[in-house]
């Protein structure tokens, strides 16, 4: 079974109440941390639990040390997965408002802990669900604790020190999921320093999607990443972004395209700039 899998609104509607399936609503807004939780309370796909980026999908921020969304402690996240009813053989469906960045963060965390099949992202997210005419629910999900057990696979990670040592290596491809203007350092709406990590290429995560908000076909994604890789091995690719969220969207799309899973620099730009000795680049 492929690592990255999509599910359409129609497919989910047919199977949403199936036994052995857990749905996670991952909606969030960086500019309004209460947005996702409030939106969930106003209506969600029936049976969905709310997975909060800051409370569930991230660990504590240490100012001046970590990025804005450090990874959660593995055991704490495993216990949260169990609380949502997830076991090793559970099918898990993830969704957000549409672009899929927050859903992809949850997907990556599951892959990191060893859950690499039976995990789906709702293609087009809640916008596609609405467009298909399917209803929302106000009901709380039924909670039946799961038994998920996993071990973090830190081969999927690179930290700042490791990345710094590898900058300039001919086999490594470093991609930045932020928009072009942020990558170039022309604007920086969130972090105190603008620019990008030297040697990175801009691979804005939004370009993984078509005009309908759904993921591009696998062949188009393959062409997109082939242009970034230029013949270098995909398993040596390192993805980053502002805080380790939209980079997961690129890693999901890379997997959809049939490439092996690259590595995540989870601290990303917001961690990189905490050390003034680390170099910063601007422009293309």
DSSP string, 230-251: TTS-GGGEEEE-SSSSHHHHHH
pLDDT, residue 1, reads 65
Residue 11: Cβ within 10 Å count: 14
For the chain, domains (ranges, CATH) are 6-152 (3.40.250.10), 155-273 (3.40.250.10)
Instruction: Please list the active-site residues.
Output: 241
pLDDT, residue 163, reads 98
pTM for the whole structure:
0.97
Residue whose C-alpha is closest to residue 138's, from 45, 219, 248, 243? 45
- Tell me 207's DSSP state: G
Question: In a structure prediction context, what are the per-residue pLDDT tens digits for the chain, which is 284 residues long?
Answer: 679 999 999 999 998 877 889 999 999 999 999 999 999 999 999 999 999 999 999 999 999 999 999 999 999 999 999 999 999 999 999 999 989 999 999 999 999 999 999 999 999 999 999 999 999 999 999 989 999 999 999 999 999 999 999 999 999 999 999 999 999 999 999 999 999 999 999 999 999 999 999 999 999 999 999 999 999 999 999 999 999 999 999 999 999 999 999 999 999 999 999 999 999 999 99
Which three-class secondary structure state does DSSP give residue 50?
strand
Instruction: In whole angstroms, give the CA distance from residue 15 to residue 93.
Output: 11
Phi, psi (deg, nearest 5) at residue 175: -120, 140
Asked if 14 and 91 count as a contact pair (C-beta separation under 8 A), the reply is no
pLDDT, residue 186, reads 98
Q: Is 175 left (phi over 0), alpha (psi -120 to 50) or beta?
A: beta
> Token match 């690259």: residue?
262
Instruction: In whole angstroms, give the CA distance from residue 159 to residue 153.
Output: 14
Instruction: In whole angstroms, give the CA distance from residue 169 to residue 227.
Output: 18
Instruction: In whole angstroms, give the CA distance from residue 111 to residue 5.
Output: 12
- How many residues can be counted in the chain? 284
279: tokens are: 């170099």
pLDDT, residue 2, reads 76
């Amino acid at each position: 079974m492929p690592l990255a899998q999509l599910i359409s609104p129609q497919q989910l509607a047919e199977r949403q109440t199936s036994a052995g399936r857990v749905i996670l609503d991952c909606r969030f807004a960086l500019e309004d941390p209460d947005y996702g939780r409030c939106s969930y309370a106003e209506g969600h796909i029936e049976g969905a639990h709310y997975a909060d980026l800051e409370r569930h999908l991230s660990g504590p921020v240490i100012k001046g040390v970590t990025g804005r969304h450090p990874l959660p402690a593995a055991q704490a996240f495993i216990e949260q997965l169990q609380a949502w009813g997830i076991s090793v053989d559970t099918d898990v469906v993830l969704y957000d408002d549409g672009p899929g960045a927050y859903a992809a963060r949850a997907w990556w965390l599951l892959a990191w802990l060893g859950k690499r099949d039976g995990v789906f992202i709702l293609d087009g997210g809640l916008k596609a669900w609405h467009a298909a005419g399917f209803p929302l629910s106000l009901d709380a999900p039924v909670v039946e604790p799961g038994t998920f057990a996993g071990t973090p696979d830190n081969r999927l990670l690179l930290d700042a020190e490791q990345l710094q040592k590898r900058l300039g290596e001919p086999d490594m491809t470093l991609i930045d999921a932020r928009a072009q203007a942020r990558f170039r350092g022309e604007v920086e709406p969130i972090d105190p320093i603008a620019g990008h990590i030297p040697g990175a290429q801009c691979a804005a995560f939004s370009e993984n999607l078509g005009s309908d908000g759904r993921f591009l076909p696998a062949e188009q994604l393959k062409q997109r990443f082939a242009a970034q890789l230029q013949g270098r091995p995909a398993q040596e690719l390192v993805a980053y972004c502002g805080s380790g969220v939209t980079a997961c969207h690129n890693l999901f799309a890379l997997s959809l395209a049939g490439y092996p899973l690259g590595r995540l620099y989870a601290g990303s730009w917001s961690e990189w700039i905490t050390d003034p000795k680390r170099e910063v680049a601007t422009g293309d």
